[in-house]
A = this chain, B = another copy of it.
Amino acid sequence: MKFNNRNIYIADSANIGKNVKIGDNTFIYENVTIDDGTIIANNCIIGEPLNDYYFKNEYSNPKTYIGKNSLIRSHTIIYAGTKTKSNFQTGHRVTIREFTEIGQNCSIGTNSDIQGFCVIGDYCRFHSYVNVGQKSKIGNFVFIYPFVVLTNDPTPPSDTLIGVEIKDFTQIAAGAVLLPGCVIGSNSLIAANSTVGGIYEDDSFISGSPAKRIGKLSKMPFFNKSGKRHYPWPYHFERGMPWAGIGFDNWREQLKTLNNIDD
């Protein structure tokens, strides 16, 4: 059993929702809210205090929020000031620094490190060892694979940090380095081990060191096992996606209808 109530620290000011489970040896610091149905596994630290905690007598921990029905796996550290929406999942030993905002249904893999002051949309999936630099801006349905780094300092070292921007549905394959300030359009694919700077339009296949746009991703000969062009991928992958069971086009139609009702 992971949940024996052994050696747990929960600050008095923490708000723990209904049906929340907290694993042994976990710390929940001041001003953390864990919403209903969320599981925090063993040896985690939620609401890790910022640097000032060590050096200033008057320190108040910024508010941290973990959305409903999330699963935070063991040894994960989430800093104070970070907010995640519902159905968030992490692998083991994930680090998420302060003031990061993460949308719904995201997952961040084992040993990944999100450096803080980032914005991440909905339904993103990061695999193991993804390193997201400060001030990165990531859209929805973005998947990032191992050993990818989003950098931010154009003239290291400096105090000028310019984050990377990645737009919706884009895939960043393993080992790619994204240079400071680069902008990757939506529905694009960056090939493994590429070194990518500059601004790329939507539907780009980008490859090389230094990387170039090879052409429209939707026209590239990337065929899946059904023999069809795989991109745009939402027509061929639905596990965990909001269009699962209904298809991408139907989901988009439903979204439009919903948005019209909202108007």
Q: A residues touching B (Cβ–Cβ < 8 Å)?
A: 1-2, 4, 6-7, 9, 11, 24-25, 27, 39, 42-43, 45, 48-49, 53-54, 71, 74-75, 77, 91-93, 95, 110-111, 113, 115, 125, 128-129, 131, 143, 145-147, 149, 151, 154-160, 171, 173-175, 177, 179, 189, 191-193, 195, 208-209, 222-225, 230-231, 233, 236-237, 239
Contacts and interface: CB of A to CB of B under 8 A. Distances in A.
Contact of A131 (B9, B27, B143, B147): B147
12 contacts: A2-B53, A27-B42, A92-B95, A125-B157, A147-B149, A147-B175, A149-B174, A151-B173, A155-B230, A175-B195, A177-B193, A191-B195
Nearest to A109: B113
Contacts of A195: 175, 191-193
Given A146-B149, A147-B149, A224-B155, A192 B177 contact: yes
**How many copies altogether?**
3
Given A7-B7, A155-B233, A193-B177, A77 B92 contact: yes
